Structure 1
């Protein structure tokens, strides 16, 4: 089974003076602005690293949800934040890390079992697998 998703980007002008728009096939993002100032400064709009952070947080959280369900847990709440770092790399830049911070409430689970399932989701969600960066996971478990 292969699932294909799509997104598109258009950039008008070059370098710092250019301005772009990014859209997703689902329509969730439609002509969202991006450019130098949304990436390296604080102008409103999006940037590739923010989109990677959103993808990583959602992918990991879903993978953990499925892992917990597979282990027999039927209820819980998972909330993940991802912080993606963009660092200078030679003449360019590189995403060097993605730090996942998770708040979880899963009734009936013990800390060791939760840690095992969470670490598996961290390593095996598709976005973790595609990132060529250090990935960390810090979590807080309540209701275990």
Structure 2
């Protein structure tokens, strides 16, 4: 049996002047969090789908990398990942690129081995697999 997670979205109005709320009822972390056209395509306060995808991808990749490093005998001291999700408007809105930037403190590992493990985590974390239609770049740095 698998694990299921849920989120809800509510929207009122047309695309450009409407507004919505996102919620995660299981965790309660997002509770009627505001999102709108202006928070997606402008700089108004609120979240947007791309930011949430970036957060999910950063979290998933980082957990996968931690697991793979530990399995290889190199438990990390610290992993810090930034995910950037780019939305292109060419030919209609679409995710055009994701960039994962990880800085890692991993005692005893060589850079080449670290890079290979990071590449494997990038390819095989569940969010990467779900987003396989979008090119994903990886910048991996040992501290």
Q: Which category describes the TM-score, using the shorter chain as reference length?
A: over 0.9
Farther off after superposition, 29-38 or 66-75: 66-75
Gapped regions of structure 2 (runs ≥ 5) = none
TM-superposed deviation, 1:112: 1.4
Per-residue CA deviations over 1:75-128 (Å, capped at 9, x if unaligned) read 4210000000001142x3101111011110100111111111100000001111
Q: Which residue of 2 aligns with 1:48?
A: 49
Instruction: Report whether the alignment pairs 1:118 with 2:112.
Output: no
- Do 2:66 and 2:76's aligned partners in 1 also have CA atoms closer than 8 Å? no
TM-score, length-normalised on structure 1?
A: 0.94
Kindly indicate which of the two structures has a greater share of residues assigned to strand: 1
In 2: Cα distance, 1:61 partner to 1:98 partner: 15
In 1: Cα distance, 2:121 partner to 2:36 partner: 32
TM-score, length-normalised on structure 2?
A: 0.95
Q: Counterpart of 2:60 in 1: which secondary structure?
A: helix
In 2: Cα distance, 1:68 partner to 1:24 partner: 31
CA-based RMSD of the aligned residues comes to 1.0
In 2: Cα distance, 1:111 partner to 1:75 partner: 13
In 1: Cα distance, 2:122 partner to 2:14 partner: 37
Q: Which residue of 2 aligns with 1:13?
A: 13
Q: Which residue of 2 aligns with 1:76?
A: 77
- Do 2:76 and 2:104's aligned partners in 1 also have CA atoms closer than 8 Å? no
Matched pairs, number: 141
Gapped regions of structure 1 (runs ≥ 5) = none
